[in-house]
Amino acid sequence: MQQAEQLLRPAVKGQNGSGCPLGSSPGTSYGQGCFVSAEKPGLPSLHQELDPLVWSCISVWESSSGVYRASQKQVSVPAEAFYQNHGNLYSMMKGKMGPSNLHMFTGTLCKELHEHMAHLGTGGTGDLNELVRHVMYPAVVNTLFGKGICPTSQSEIKEFEEHFQKYDEDFEYASQMPECFLRNWSKSKKWLLNLFEKVVSDAERTNPSETTSKTLLHHLLDNLQGKHLAPNYGLLMLWASQANAVPIAFWTLVFILSCPSIYKKIMEDLASVFGKAGKDQLEVSEEDLKKLPFIKWCTLEAIRLRSPGAITKKVVNPIRIQNFTIPAGDMLMLSPYWLHRNPKYFPDPEMFKPDRWKEANLEKNAFLDSFVAFGGGKHQCPGRWFAIMEIQLFVVLFLYKYEFVLLDAVPKESPLHLVGTQQPMAPFWVQYKCRE
Ligand code: HEM
């Protein structure tokens, strides 16, 4: 056991010398997506001993009450309040955004996406990532928080986006470093928390009594204990709802647009459900989305390939896994990014192959077995079905409305993002125009 414990040193980023697991290759100490251990020559390492799937196995997170989230610092929520609120808020979000409730969002989201796509005009050129962001941020925020609650008008949104981007960029460092080392991040966080003071008071004022008229933010306020923390939780919810889904919407489009056979199939599918392009305001329902499984597979495949670099947890009480005891204080890390590149589970792992999702039982809301982009257990992303739906809907509307000429080579993913989904390393300029 002592031998095993020697191997189980804290798993913090940068221990492979590269500063980032995305810079290493499968088979290194971050290899196959599972674990960071200080390996010693001649001794078995934990990730060799444990099948990655066993390792990624959700029971580690689920059964261990000793595991807590390391992200409370980013929005200044004290640990006690975090624990007190977690169960309640998590169930609320999981329920409201579960597969059977998605139809409640589709209509509003569709309208919002049209409204903000209209700001792009009938044609132009731009960095695709920016174009996606300009449409997705306001549309999703208005859908989840209520219209007019967060700044979404063209004039207000610039400042908001600048602060939000800064906040998002250094989000992961903020869990490790004192705020005084992250001056700009701290400034943006304060700006956003100030904004959320107003957002919360507006939402409280307009909180309707009937459940069906409430937004997700209203539900959050209704369920929160410790009302003074409402701005902090509002900001956390905003970050969670935007930071991962927006880059994935970008990558889904990139993979589709850069692969002619996939693009052709999608355009045929769209024509078969909605007719040839030309209708100005396509109304897309949940039922329509069900008729377009290939776009859903493309979304899931983009998530697989650009999934978070790491999900980390700190061990509070020692956890036993097979023959290993992981001591309190160690960090555990699962890397969806690397696990999704293990050919044992995903043949041709680097290839964008939407068809592999045919095997998943999506009607029963099950992913492919070794797909862990949304984490697992009692912290598994409660917004996952909403995320997949919003991206699918956005891709449908965007590709139906515009055609594109690609002006740049497809960018690589930036190695700087460990916690969330991957961002592009360089701009990706496109020319777009409305279909005739
Ligand atoms: C492609 C998009 C998304 C990805 C890849 C993603 C991924 C994740 C991951 C990996 C976690 C941590 C799971 C864990 O600790 O085990 C998480 C947590 C969370 N996500 Fe998402 N997410 C996405 C979109 C969303 C959306 C759209 C929302 C809300 C509308 C959302 C809300 C949350 C919340 C509230 C948590 C915290 C759960 C907890 O700690 O109990 N996510 N997400």
User: CATH no. for residue 345?
Assistant: 1.10.630.10
Q: Indicate the number of domains in the chain.
A: 1
Instruction: For residue 97, give the ligand 1 atom closest to its CA.
Output: 30
For 374-392, letters b (16+ CB in 10 Å) and e give bbbeebbbbbbbbbbbbbb
Q: Which secondary structure element, helix H or strand E, spans residue 140, and what is its range? A: helix 128-145
Residue 404 forms part of a structural domain = yes
Tens of pLDDT along the chain (436 residues) come to 333 322 222 233 222 222 222 222 222 222 333 333 333 333 334 444 444 443 443 333 433 333 334 345 566 788 788 888 999 999 999 999 999 999 999 999 999 999 999 999 999 999 999 999 999 999 999 999 988 788 777 777 888 888 988 888 887 777 677 777 788 888 999 999 999 999 999 999 989 999 888 999 999 999 999 889 999 999 989 888 988 999 999 999 999 999 999 999 999 999 999 987 666 689 999 999 999 999 999 999 999 999 999 888 888 888 888 888 889 888 888 899 999 999 999 999 999 999 999 999 999 999 999 999 999 888 899 999 999 999 999 999 999 999 999 999 999 998 777 778 999 999 999 999 999 8
Q: Ligand 1, residue 377: give the atom nearest the CA.
A: 16
**Is residue 320 packed enough to be buried (19+ CB in 10 Å), middle (13-18) or exposed (0-12)?**
exposed
Q: From the CA of 390, how far away is ligand 1's center (Å)?
A: 14
Q: Is 294 within a domain?
A: yes
Model pTM score: 0.85
Cα–Cα distance for residue pair 314/93, rounded to 1 Å = 24
Q: Which of 291, 319, 298, 342 is nearest to 34 (CA)?
A: 342
Rounded Cα–Cα distance for residues 224 and 235 (Å): 14
**Which residue of 60, 136, 381 sits with most ligand 1 atoms within 8 Å of its CB, as the best mutation to test the pocket?**
381
247: in domain: yes
- Non-local CB neighbours of 433 within 8 Å, separated by 6+ positions: 122, 123, 124, 402, 403
Q: Is 381 annotated as a binding residue?
A: yes
Distance between Cα 403 and ligand 1 center (Å)? 31
The residue range of the domain holding 207 is: 2-430
Does a structural domain hold residue 263?
A: yes
In a domain, 402, yes or no: yes
- Please state, in angstroms and rounded to a whole number, the distance separating the CA atoms of residues 316 and 396: 45
Give the distance (Å) from ligand 1 centre to CA of residue 40. 35
Q: Which residue has the tokens 């891709």?
A: 395
Count CB neighbours of 219 within 10 A: 17
Rg (CA), the chain: 22
Examine residue 435 and state whether it is found in any structural domain, yes or no: no
Report the nearest-CA residue for atom 39 of ligand 1. 379
Classify residue 436: in a domain, yes or no: no
The letter for the amino acid at 212 is T
Amino acid identity of 87?
Answer: G
Q: Which two tokens stand for residue 195?
A: 């904004």
